[in-house]
Amino acid sequence: MKPLTSVLQTTAFALKVVIILSIAGAAISSRLFSVIRFESIIHEFDPWFNYRATKYLVENNFNDFLNWFDDRTWYPLGRVTGGTLYPGLMVTSGAIWHVLRKLSMPIDIRNICVLLAPAFSALTAYATYLFTSELKDSGAGLLAAALIAIAPGYISRSVAGSYDNEAIAITLLMTTFYLWIKACKLGSIFWSALSALCYFYMVAAWGGYVFITNLIPLHIFVLILMGRYSAKLYVAYTTWYALGTLASMQIPFVGFLPIRSNDHMAALGVFGLIQLVAFGNYVKSSTSSKQFKTFLTVSLVLIIALGVSGLFALTAAGLIAPWTGRFYSLWDTGYAKLHIPIIASVSEHQPTAWPAFFFDTQFLIWLFPAGIYLLFQDLANEHVFVIIYSVLCSYFAGVMIRLMLVLTPVICVCGAIAISKLFDVYLNLRELAATSEETRKDRIFQLLSRMIVIMSFGFYLCFFVYHCTWVSSTAYSSPSVVLASRNPDGSQAIIDDYREAYYWLRMNSPEDAKIMAWWDYGYQIGGMADRTTLVDNNTWNNTHIATVGKAMSSPEDKAYEILVNHDVDYVLVIFGGLLGYSGDDINKFLWMVRISEGIWPEDISERSFFTARGEYKVDDQASQTMQNSLMYKLSYYRYHEVFGMQAATDRVRNQVIPKKDIELDSLEEVFTSENWIVRVYQVKKGDNAGRNLQEAGSFERKAKGGRNRSAKKPEVGLREL
Amino acid sequence: MAKVKKSVNADPDPVIKITPVKTSAAAAVTTTSVVSFTQTLQKTLEAYKSSLTPKFALIDIFLGFLVALGALQFVFCCLVGNFPFNAFLGGFISTVGQFVLTVSLRLQFDDENRVAIWKGQGKEMKWRAMGDYIFASLVLHFIVYHFIN
C-alpha cells in the first residue's frame, strides 16, 4: 500500500507543477493581445515616464538615478525625479536587463519593460496559489491561481506594455500577505522578517503600500479584540513592524513619513498596544482573573486616554502630518471635487460604476460573499485576515475605480474557496458508494443532482474563460497611444496620430523647445518627443498646472502673456472632433477651468464657460468666453476648411461649429496630424516692426481682405518715400 | 543566584518602569482598585523572580540595557536636537527593533510557551528560534547601517 501512496503523491506533485506552469502560460499569453495586434509598445501615460526613467537608469548608474534632477519637465521648475518616484519598478527591470546581459542575452530595455507586467502576473498567480493553499488546501490554491491569472480586473493593469507600478505591486502584495499569514501561523521571526523584506519591496514599488501598512495592524487589532492574542502574534507583528518600518524609510520618496504621517499611525499604535497586551498577558498568567480584570480596566482607560490625546497633541503641534487629501477623498467621495479638483479630474479616481464589478470579475462577484461566508465557518486567524481585507477593499473599490485592482485578488481567492468547497462536497463519490443499501432510484437522483451542480459550475468556469478573453482583448488591450478603429468595410484601421505628431516634434523643433500641453500628455511628450514640458502626469505642483489651465482658458492676448512668460515655444492640443475621439481636450477643458479657477477665482469663472441655460456647448450658442478661449480657438482653427467651407460638425459633441473664421494672431499652426487628433502651434516671437501681435495680425488681415481694393491704389506713397 | 537578584533590581525592565505612571493616575479612580492594582503587580513580580533562570536573566539584562540605551538616545535627542534625524532614528529604532526581537526570542525559549503555543519540542525548536533571531538581527542592523550613512 505504501508504494501506491508515494506514487500518488509524486503524481499529485507533478500534476501541480504542470498545472501551475500552464496557468503561468495562460496568464502571460492572455496579456499579449496588444503586442500581437499592434506592436511591442509602451501604453498610455504613466508607463511612458516609467520607461523613460528606466532608460535613464540603464544608461547611467543607480546613484545617478537616485539623484536625478530632471530639468526637462516642469519647466522652469524642474523635478527632483530621483526623490519623488517609487524606484521599485525601474530597478526591477534594470536588474533583469543587467542579468540578461551578463548571460549574454542582450535584450532591448523596451521589450523588458513591455513584457514585465505579464511576467509578473505569472508570479502573482503563484503567490495567490501559495496564499490560498494556506487558507484552505492546494486544490483551492490552484483554482485561485487560475482565476487570478485571467481575471479582467487584474489584466486591466497588467497587459503587455502597461509598464506601471501596479504591474509588480500586486505580485508583491500577494507575496507579502502570504508571508504574513505564514508568519502568523508559525509565529516565526524568520517568516516575519521575510514578510517585512517583501513589504519593503512593495514600498519601493507602489504608493498603495499604505494599504498593507494599515491592513496588517488592523488584522492584529481585530484578533486582539477577539481575545485571540498569543505570543505568536507578538513575534510576527513586532518583527514585521520594526523591520518593515525601518526598511520603508530607506526609500527617498517615503522618507520619514512612517513616523510622521497619520496614515501610518495605526501601525505604530498597534505596535504599542501589542507590547501592552503582551505585558498584560504575562501579568494574567501569574495572577487570579478577578485581580486581572480591575488591572485591565484601569490600565486600558489610562492608555487609550493617553494615546488619543497624544496623537491629537502631536498633530496639533505639527509633528505629525494630518491625513492627506487622497485619504480624505477615500472617505468622503465629494471631498476631492470640492477641494482638490486635480485629484477628482483623473478618471481612475472616479467612483466605480456597478457594472464594472461584473465586467471585471464576472461570476466571481456573486461567489465572493459565499466564499466570505465559508471563511466565517472556519474563522482561524488567517481567515480573519482575508475577511478584513475583503471588507475594506470592497469599500475602497466602490470609491475609486483604480482600487478594483486590489479587490480582484481577494475576490478570486474567496471565489476559489467557494468553488473548491462546492467541489469537495459534490465530487465526493465515496459517500455515494457508501449508501449501497439504499434503493437504486435514490442513488440515481443523488448522482443526477450532483451532476447538475458540477456541470453548471463547470459551465460557469468555462464561460468565465471566454468572458476574460473577450474583455481583455476588447477593453484592456488598447495602448491608447495607438488607436484602432474599423473602416466602413470592416477592416481594421490603425490611428497613429499621437506618434506621428510627437515624432514631428522630435524631428522639427529645436532640442530645447518648451512645449505646453495639458498635463495628461506630459509624460508622452517627454518620452516620445523628448522635449521639455511645462506640466506632466506627476501633478506635484497644482499651481503650475493651474497656470497652464489659465493659459488655455484665457483669451488669446492674455494667454500670450502667460506663454511668453514661460518661454513656451509650442502649444499642443488634442482634438477629437473630426474623428469622434472623445478623450480630447475640449472634453477635459472644464477641468482646466476648474483647476485654474481654484487658484485665480477672479480671472477665471467656470460659469462663464456655459451657455445662459447652463449647457456646455461649442456651437454658435457657446458663450463668448468659451469662444474666445485659447483652447477653443486652437481646437477649431481652420476646422471648417475640412468640410469644404461648409458648416463643420464636431463629431464628439454632435454640434455644428459656427462658420466664422477663427483668427489667431500670436500663434501659428505648424502641424496637424492625419486625423486632426494632435494639433501643434508655434508661438510667434514678437513682431519685426515692433507692433504687438494683435495689431500686426489685424493689419495683415486687412491687407489680405482688402487686396482687391488695394490693387487699384496707386503706389505713389511708396515712391514718394 | 546573587547575580540574578542584583540584575532584577538594577534592571529597568518595562514591568517596573511603567508602574509609577499607572499607580499615580489610578489613585484618582478608587482606592480599592489601587490596592488590587499594586497587589497584582507585586504578585507578577514574585512570579517573575521565581521563574528566572540565569539564561533568562542574561536576556533580561540585555533587554534592560536596550531600553536604557533607547531612553538615553531619546533624552539626548530632546535635549540636544535631532539634527541628523536619520542617524537618531536609526539608533533609536535599532534598540527598539532589537528589543522586540529579543522579547520574541525569549517568548520562544520559554518552556511553557513552546509546548503550549508553538507545539514544538526540545532543542530543535530552540536552535531554529536562535537562527531566526540572528537572521532578523542581521537584517535589522544592515538596514540601520545603511540608514545612518
**ipTM for this model:** 0.79
Distance in Å, alpha carbon of A596 to nearest chain B alpha carbon = 38
User: Looking at the predicted structure, is the pLDDT value of residue B83 above 80?
Assistant: no
Which residues of A fall within a CB distance of 8 Å from B21?
302
Cβ-Cβ contacts under 8 Å for A561 (sequence gap 6 or more): none
Tell me the mean pLDDT in the region B7-16. Answer: 40
* Residues belonging to chain B: 149
Angle between helices B2-10 and B31-50 (to 10 degrees): 140
Q: How many angstroms separate the CA atoms of A41 and A48, rounded?
A: 10
User: Looking at the predicted structure, is the pLDDT value of residue B1 above 60?
Assistant: no
**A69, A78 Cβ separation under 8 angstroms:** yes
pLDDT grade, residue B18 (50/70/90)? very low
Per-residue model confidence as pLDDT tens digits over A318-337: 666 666 666 666 666 666 56
- The confidence score (pLDDT) of residue B95 equals 92
Q: Is residue B3 a part of any domain in this protein?
A: no
Q: In what order do the strands lie in the sheet with A667-672?
A: A532-533, A514-516, A570-574, A678-683, A667-672
A300 versus A464: the higher-pLDDT residue is: A464
- The confidence score (pLDDT) of residue A337 equals 60
Query: Does any CB of chain A come closer than 8 Å to the CB of residue B127?
Result: no
Q: What is the dihedral of CA B50, B56, B57, B59, to 10 degrees?
A: -150
Q: Under an 8 A CB cutoff, do B143 and A197 touch?
A: no
Q: Is residue B22 a part of any domain in this protein?
A: no
Here the cell at position A172 is: 508583491
Query: Which string of b and e fits A490-503 if b means at least 16 CB within 10 Å?
Result: eeeeebbbbbebbe
**DSSP character string of A348-401:** GGSPPPHHHHHHHHTTHHHHHHHHHHHHHHH--HHHHHHHHHHHHHHHHHHH-G
Which of A189, A237, A284, A289 is the mutation pick for testing B, counting most B CBs within 10 A? A189
Q: Is residue B25 a part of any domain in this protein?
A: no
Q: How many angstroms separate the CA atoms of A375 and A387, rounded?
A: 7
Which residues of A fall within a CB distance of 8 Å from B107?
231, 234-235
Q: How many angstroms separate the CA atoms of A697 and A216, rounded?
A: 65
**B90, B77 Cβ separation under 8 angstroms:** no
- The overall longest dimension of chain A from CA atoms, in Å, is 127
User: Looking at the predicted structure, is the pLDDT value of residue A721 above 50?
Assistant: no
Per-residue model confidence as pLDDT tens digits over A468-496: 999 988 888 888 888 877 777 877 788 88
DSSP tag of B30: -
* Distance of alpha carbon A341 from the chain centroid: 18
pLDDT grade, residue A121 (50/70/90)? very high
Q: Under an 8 A CB cutoff, do A294 and B18 touch?
A: no
Q: How many angstroms separate the CA atoms of A148 and A48, rounded?
A: 26
A549 versus A663: the higher-pLDDT residue is: A549
Q: How many angstroms separate the CA atoms of A216 and A222, rounded?
A: 10
Write down the CATH number for the domain with range A496-697. 3.40.50.12610
**A493, A474 Cβ separation under 8 angstroms:** no
For residue A299, give the chain B residue with the closest CA. Answer: B22
Query: Which string of b and e fits A687-718 if b means at least 16 CB within 10 Å?
Result: beeeeebeebbeeeeeeeeeeeeeeeeeeeee
Q: How many angstroms separate the CA atoms of A12 and A8, rounded?
A: 6
Element (H, E) at B65: helix B54-80
Mean pLDDT over the full length of chain A: 84
Backbone angles phi, psi at A570, to 5 degrees: -130, 145
Looking at mean pLDDT, say which of A189-193, A303-307, A395-399 comes out highest: A189-193
Query: Does any CB of chain B come closer than 8 Å to the CB of residue A238?
Result: yes
Per-residue model confidence as pLDDT tens digits over A595-632: 888 888 888 888 888 888 888 888 888 888 888 888 88
**A187, A233 Cβ separation under 8 angstroms:** yes
What is the number of domains present in chain B?
1
Q: Which residue shows C-alpha cell 536636537?
A: B81
- The confidence score (pLDDT) of residue A437 equals 59
pLDDT grade, residue B11 (50/70/90)? very low
Q: What is the dihedral of CA A385, A390, A393, A398, to 10 degrees?
A: -160
Q: Under an 8 A CB cutoff, do B100 and A242 touch?
A: yes
User: Looking at the predicted structure, is the pLDDT value of residue B79 above 50?
Assistant: yes
Q: Under an 8 A CB cutoff, do B93 and A246 touch?
A: yes
Q: How many angstroms separate the CA atoms of A379 and A396, rounded?
A: 23
Here the cell at position A531 is: 522635449
User: Which residues constitute the domain of residue B57?
Assistant: 46-148
- The confidence score (pLDDT) of residue A95 equals 93
- The confidence score (pLDDT) of residue A374 equals 92
Backbone angles phi, psi at A70, to 5 degrees: -100, 110
**Domain residue limits, chain A:** 189-321, 496-697
pTM score of the predicted model: 0.85
Residues 78-97 of B with CB under 8 A from A: 85-86, 89-90, 93-94, 96-97
Q: Is residue B52 a part of any domain in this protein?
A: yes
CA-wise closest residue to A27 among A138, A135, A139, A128? A128
Q: Under an 8 A CB cutoff, do A283 and B132 touch?
A: no
Q: Under an 8 A CB cutoff, do B104 and A235 touch?
A: yes
